[in-house]
Amino acid sequence: MRKRVISFVVLLVALSIVLIELFPIMVVIVNGFKRDIDIWSKNPFYFKPTLRSYQLIFTHREFPRSLRNSFVVASLSALVSVSLGSMAAYGLSRFNFKFNDALIFILLMVRMIPQISLAVPFYMIFRSIGLNDNVLGLSLAHISFNLPYVVALLLPFFSSIPREYEEAAKVDGCRTFQIFLKIFFPLASAGIVVAAVFAFLMSWNEFIYALVLTGTRAKTAPIVVNAFLGQYAPLWGQLSAAGTIMLLPVFAVTLSLQRYIIRGLSAGGIKG
């Protein structure tokens, strides 16, 4: 009995912590269904739900395209990072090379370079080769933090696969690349999916490079969401609706990949 009371009290405390913690997110979601006039009103819970803001952002001059840009950039940078990163992680975990440990050490270290430190050189390099305001250029910039991250996440996955599997495959006459594709890729598929999804999310959330390296055509959704703030009248309703859409992949990832979240976080952080 006493035990049940305690666990009930713990539940209540935990529940209130979660509710307080999620309050700002609820504010965003709820405001997406309000008219701006209701957002400014004193009572946050009294309003008539409307889809007006959603209607506005999907007919908005820039938002749909920026959403598509975000999706393309995040997919492209995740795809390239995972292809090259998983090959590199396999190579680093399996083949003996003099500078192996040094390479691993450097790759693990550089995944934490602050984006702003590379923003200035990226801006200048891209401007001189015509990659500014270009979806491809922005994807390249995103690969710079995603690729080392993918290697960092996958190294332990690959190292933990027993050598016997590849010995057996070798006996069966598999060549190295076949071993990689047919044995390692499936065995490490959980890790590879996690790496891909996290890489996608890091690109999806990224702001600095998008701010510095894009102008009009390659703008991503976070930039446009910020622009809803406007110079004179902040469009909080549209901002919240757009923000809610940006949050959808975030919710999907957090709730479906809980098991891997700590691994993913400690491998590289998620900040933009």
Partner 1 sequence: MQSSRSMVIDPKKRGRFLAPFFVFVLPALIVVGAILAYPVIYALAISLTDRELLYLGKTNFIGLRNYSEMIRDRNFWHSLSLQLGFIAIAIPIQLVIGLFVAILFNREFPFSKILRSLLMLPVFVLPVLSGLTWRLMLQPSYGVLASFFNSISLGPIAWLADTRYAYVAILLQDIWRMWPFMFMIIYAGLSSMPSEYVEAARIDGANFFQRFWYVLLPYLKSVIATAFLLRMIDALRIFSEVYVMTYGGPSNATMLLSLYIHKQAFEFGRLSYAASVAVFLLIVALFISYFVVKRGLRGEIE
Q: Which residues in the 185-204 window bind partner 1 by CB under 8 A? A: 201, 204
Binding mask 160-189 for partner 1 (x = CB under 8 A): ---x------------xx--x---------
Rule CB under 8 A: choose which of 102, 113, 181, 193 binds partner 1: 113
CB atoms near residue 193 (< 10 Å): 13
CB of 84 to partner 1, least distance (A): 4
Token pair recorded at residue 142 = 């995103």
Q: Which is nearer to partner 1, 44 or 49 (CB)?
A: 44
87, 148, 174 from 171: Cα distances, Å: 22, 33, 7
CB of 63 to partner 1, least distance (A): 14
* Interaction between residue 141 and partner 1 (CB under 8 A): yes
Rule CB under 8 A: choose which of 67, 74, 76, 147 binds partner 1: 147
Among 108, 219, 116, smallest CA distance to 154 is for 108
Rule CB under 8 A: choose which of 51, 102, 124, 136 binds partner 1: 124
Burial class (CB in 10 A: 0-12, 13-18, 19+), 183: middle
**Where does this chain touch partner 1 (CB under 8 A) — which range of 50-58, 60-68, 82-90, 188-196?**
82-90
Degrees, nearest 5: CA angle 250-239-22: 45
Q: Which is nearer to partner 1, 43 or 189 (CB)?
A: 43
Token pair recorded at residue 211 = 């701010």
Token pair recorded at residue 257 = 């990949």
Quick one: CA torsion of 86, 92, 94, 99, rounded to 10 degrees? 170
Rule CB under 8 A: choose which of 39, 138, 194, 235 binds partner 1: 39
Residues 224-263 within binding reach of partner 1 (CB under 8 A): 225-226, 229, 234, 236, 239, 243, 246-247, 250-251, 253-255, 258, 261-262
CB of 148 to partner 1, least distance (A): 7
Rule CB under 8 A: choose which of 56, 72, 104, 187 binds partner 1: 104
**Where does this chain touch partner 1 (CB under 8 A) — which range of 51-59, 60-68, 118-126, 188-196?**
118-126
Rounded Cα gap, residues 140 and 33, in angstroms: 36
The DSSP call for residue 169 is H
150, 183, 198, 230 from 162: Cα distances, Å: 21, 11, 26, 56
Task: Please give the size of the binding site for partner 1, defined by CB under 8 A.
Answer: 104
**Alpha helical stretches, state H, 32-134:** 36-39, 52-58, 63-94, 100-110, 115-129
